[in-house]
């Protein structure tokens, strides 16, 4: 995501949304969160509320990807 010219807190909040390094099954879970973060970044101005929204979205993404990873490990789908 391009954060050129964005406030440092906004730029920091979007870290962690990369997904192209993930296996295909985890990528499918992670990508929608990246896409939403990118849409919010394109639509909203820098603001503490944007930073908070992006951090919480990243937290939700982390939870979803962790569950997907645990489920795939439990099912033996390494």
Q: Average pLDDT for consecutive 10-residue bins of the chain (78 residues)? A: 94 94 96 98 97 97 97 66
This model's pTM is above 0.85: yes
pLDDT at 6: 96
Using left for φ > 0, alpha for ψ between -120 and 50, and beta otherwise, residue 41 falls in alpha
Q: How many CA atoms lie within 13 A of 11 on its CB side?
A: 7
| Calculated CA dihedral for residues 39, 16, 6, 50, nearest 10 degrees | 60
């Amino acid at each position: 995501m391009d954060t050129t010219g964005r406030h440092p807190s906004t730029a920091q909040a979007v870290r962690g949304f990369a997904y192209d390094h993930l296996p295909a099954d985890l990528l499918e879970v992670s990508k929608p969160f990246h896409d939403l973060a990118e849409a919010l970044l394109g639509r909203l101005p820098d603001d503490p509320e944007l930073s908070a929204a992006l951090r919480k979205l990243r937290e939700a993404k982390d939870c979803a990807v962790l569950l997907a990873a645990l489920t795939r490990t439990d099912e033996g789908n390494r």
